[in-house]
Amino acid sequence: MDPGAAAGEGNLVLGLVAVALVTVATLAIGSWGLRLSRTTSDFFVASRSVRPGLNASAISGEYLSGASFLGIAGLVLSNGAEMLWYPVGWTAGYLVLLCLVAAPLRRSGAYTLPDFAEARLRSRGVRRASSLLVVAIGWLYLMPQFQGAGVALETTTGLPPWSGGLAVAVVVLLNVLAGGMRSVTFVQAFQYWLKLTALLVPLVFLVVVWIGDGARSPADPSLLVGGADGLAWADPIDFAGDHPLYSTYSLMVATFLGVMGLPHVVVRYYTNPDGRAARQTTLTVLAMLGLFYVVPPVYGALGRLYAPDLAAGGSDSVVLALPARMVGGLGGDLLVALLTAGAFAAFLATSSGLTVAVAGVLTQDVTAKRLEPVTGFRVAAVVAVVVPFSLAFLARDVGVATVVGLAFAMAAATFCPLLLLGIWWRGLTATGALAGLVVGGALTGAAVLDNLLVDRQSGWLAALVGQPAAWAVPAAFATMVLVSRATRSRVPAHASRFMVRLHTPEHVQLDRD
Q: Which domain holds residue 111?
A: 3-395
What pLDDT shows up at residue 181?
63
Are residues 117 and 134 in contact, defined by beta-carbon separation less than 8 angstroms? no
What pLDDT shows up at residue 507?
61
For range 474-496, the mean pLDDT = 95
Q: Tell me which amino acid residue 260 is.
A: M
Question: What are the two backbone dihedrals, phi and then psi, of residue 110, each rounded to the nearest 5 degrees?
Answer: -80, 155
What pLDDT shows up at residue 10?
54
Q: How many domains does the chain contain in total?
A: 1
Residue 414 lies in a domain: no
For 158-238, where are the alpha helices, taking DSSP H only? 161-212
Which of 136-150, 169-183, 265-279, 413-427 has maximum average pLDDT? Answer: 413-427
What pLDDT shows up at residue 275?
67
Residue 419 lies in a domain: no
Residue 407 lies in a domain: no
Q: Write the CATH number for 265.
A: 1.20.1730.10
Task: Pick the more confident residue, 510 or 145.
Answer: 145
Residue 431 lies in a domain: no
Residue 237 lies in a domain: yes
Is the pLDDT reported for residue 198 higher than 90? yes
Which of 228-237, 280-289, 383-392, 426-435 has maximum average pLDDT? Answer: 426-435
What pLDDT shows up at residue 182?
65
Residue 225 lies in a domain: yes
What pLDDT shows up at residue 230?
44
Percent of the chain clearing pLDDT 70 (strictly above): 83
Residue 56 lies in a domain: yes
Percent of the chain clearing pLDDT 90 (strictly above): 30
Residue 360 lies in a domain: yes
For range 151-168, the mean pLDDT = 82
Question: What are the two backbone dihedrals, phi and then psi, of residue 178, each rounded to the nearest 5 degrees?
Answer: -70, -55
Which of 231-235, 238-242, 265-269, 307-311 has maximum average pLDDT? Answer: 307-311
- Band (pLDDT 50/70/90 cuts) for residue 431 is very high
What pLDDT, in 10s, does the model give residues 100-127?
A: 887 788 788 777 788 899 999 999 999 9
Are residues 103 and 279 in contact, defined by beta-carbon separation less than 8 angstroms? yes
Are residues 77 and 307 in contact, defined by beta-carbon separation less than 8 angstroms? yes
For range 272-281, the mean pLDDT = 75
Is the pLDDT reported for residue 178 higher than 70? no
Of the candidates 376, 216, 423, the residue with the CA atom closest to the CA atom of residue 308: 216
- Band (pLDDT 50/70/90 cuts) for residue 215 is low
Of the candidates 401, 394, 358, 405, the residue with the CA atom closest to the CA atom of residue 377: 358
For range 234-255, the mean pLDDT = 71
What pLDDT, in 10s, does the model give residues 357-384?
A: 888 888 888 877 778 777 887 888 899 9
Spatial distance between the Cα atoms of 363 and 181, rounded to a whole number of angstroms: 14
What pLDDT, in 10s, does the model give residues 32-88?
A: 655 555 555 555 555 555 777 888 888 888 888 877 888 889 888 887 777 888 888
Helix (H) or strand (E) holding 257: helix 244-258
Spatial distance between the Cα atoms of 361 and 129, rounded to a whole number of angstroms: 11
What pLDDT, in 10s, does the model give residues 1-21?
A: 344 444 455 567 887 888 889
Average pLDDT of the chain, as a whole number? 82
Is the pLDDT reported for residue 233 higher than 60? no
Is the pLDDT reported for residue 506 higher than 70? no
Q: Is 219 exposed, middle or buried (0-12, 13-18, 19+ CB in 10 A)?
A: exposed
Task: Pick the more confident residue, 180 or 312.
Answer: 312
